[in-house]
Amino acid sequence: MTSSVFFDQLALHFDKQLPFVAYKKPNQLEVKAMLQDSNQLHFTTNFEDSGFVFSPFKNEDNTVLFPLNKSQTISCLHDSTTVDSKKQLSSTINLSAKAKHIKLVEQAIVEIENGRFKKVVISRVETETFPEDNTLLLFKKLLATYKTAMVYCWYHPKVGLWLGATPETLLKVEGNRFLTMSLAGTQQYKNTVDVQWQSKEQEEQQLVTDFIVGSLESSLSSINLGTTETIKAGNLLHLQTKISGLLKPKNGLQSVIAKLHPTPAVCGLPKENAKQFILKNEGYNREYYTGFLGEINIKQAKTRNTNRRNVENNAYGSVKTISHLFVNLRCLQIKDNQALIYVGGGITKDSIPENEWEETVAKSKTVKNLL
């Protein structure tokens, strides 16, 4: 379908206050949407359903599901000519927010020195006026701006309205092939990805890699670590290591999600101590920020080879079951005509509180520049 028909259908569904998710995966041109047929709230408990999940930071809370068999699926090719985007932000600093964030980072460093945890991710929420009617326009701007991100707009009248452009895969499962990534360490992009990283960032990211490898050792029959690379996400750079392997039999989606989420990229290490610190001290509810979202158990026909001489072989192309989940970062919630922008960063023993504040300011620009 054309992009304009696609967005008309989304707008109609949104007007009727019916649940939907529209999304474009990293480096793809296809924008897909699942339009749920009623405003019923479905959950998945075992991750064996087929559909799109939206899961909160608190792993004990319910994961919302848009079931594939209760939704209409539509798609279009992304039309990048549709919007002009970036505005320059005036740099007014909210001094009390800054003081509060710095105090919490200092408190986290004290806990690290006391040995309670090695790393904790401290976050905050910023509020901007935003008319809800501009939601789909904002989604189009995110699509046009962040080609390498998972860009989404998610709505359920009983849960909320969220948008984001996240660089982080929680996991991808294709048949028994498994892929995840360790993503941490942040610096601002200044026209090159050829940059030096301080030992603070390298160690912080290594903690995440080690945790992922350790957590998955019993679930994967072989683990391959890619090289650690610098990747660009909007105006930021991160360190990324891809981790892949083959899932052993009886290791379902639910068990690997339970092992990974929330990873030290968004929570901390050890996981439980860091999580308790976050819940007790951050002073607000993260809700779906640093949760995860994406397709689960979607059947996709795989043609083996696109070479024309192999046309006959294509008839035997298999059907694969694919799940692709992303960590909900660089996101915002729209509520009462306000945009709530969620941002955080990993704190370790070497963190400098002022720099940690600056990092959250830089992260907030990913979505704030487009409001």
- Summarize as ranges the residues that interact with ligand ISJ (CB under 6 A): 121, 123, 168, 183-186, 238, 265-266, 329-330, 343-346, 363
The label of the residue with tokens 């319910």 reads 62
Q: Find the residue with minimal CB distance to ligand ISJ.
A: 346
Cβ distance to ligand ISJ smaller for residue 65 or 343: 343
Q: Report residue 43 as tokens.
A: 């959950």
Minimum separation from the CB atom of position 347 to ligand ISJ (A): 8
Cβ proximity to ligand ISJ: between 212 and 216 the closer is 212
Nearest distance in Å: CB 265, ligand ISJ: 4
Three-state SS annotation for the chain: CCHHHHHHHHHHHHHCCCCEEEEECCCCCEEEEEEECCCCCEEECCCCCCEEEEECCCCCCCEEEEEHHHEEEEEEECCCCCCCCCCCCCCCCCHHHHHHHHHHHHHHHHHHHCCCCCEEEEEEEEEEECCHHHHHHHHHHHHHHCCCCEEEEEEECCCEEEEEEECCEEEEEECCEEEEEEEEEEEECCCCCCCCCCHHHHHHHHHHHHHHHHHHCCCEEEEEECCCEEEEECCEEEEEEEEEEEECCCCCHHHHHHHHCCCCCCCEECHHHHHHHHHHHCCCCCCCCCCEEEEEEEEEECCCCCCHHHHHHHCCCCEEEEEEEEECCCEEEEECCEEEEEEEEEECCCCCHHHHHHHHHHHHHHHHCCC
Shortest Å distance, C-beta 139 to ligand ISJ: 19
Closest to ligand ISJ by CB, 201 or 295: 201
**CA–CA dist 336, 343 (Å, integer):** 20
Residue closer to ligand ISJ, measured from CB, 9 or 169: 169
Q: Please report how close the Cβ of residue 331 comes to ligand ISJ at its closest, in angstroms.
A: 8
Write down the least CB distance from residue 364 to ligand ISJ, Å.
9
d(CA 261, CA 259): 6
Q: How far is the CB of 55 from ligand ISJ (least distance, A)?
A: 16
Nearer to ligand ISJ, 19 or 294 (CB): 294
Nearest approach in angstroms of CB 162 to ligand ISJ is 14
Closest to ligand ISJ by CB, 43 or 284: 284
Smallest gap from residue 346 Cβ to ligand ISJ (A): 3
Which residue, 51 or 234, has its beta carbon nearer to ligand ISJ? 234
Closest to ligand ISJ by CB, 32 or 286: 286
Kindly tell me the sign of the dihedral angle through the C-alpha atoms of 317, 319, 321, 325. Answer: positive
Which of 34, 184 has the CB closer to ligand ISJ?
Answer: 184
Bridge partners (DSSP) listed for residue 177: 174, 246
| Shortest reach from residue 58's CB to ligand ISJ, in Å | 16
Residue 55 or 123 with smaller CB distance to ligand ISJ: 123
Q: What is the dihedral of CA 357, 168, 204, 349, to 10 degrees?
A: 30
Shortest distance in whole angstroms from residue 28 CB to ligand ISJ: 21
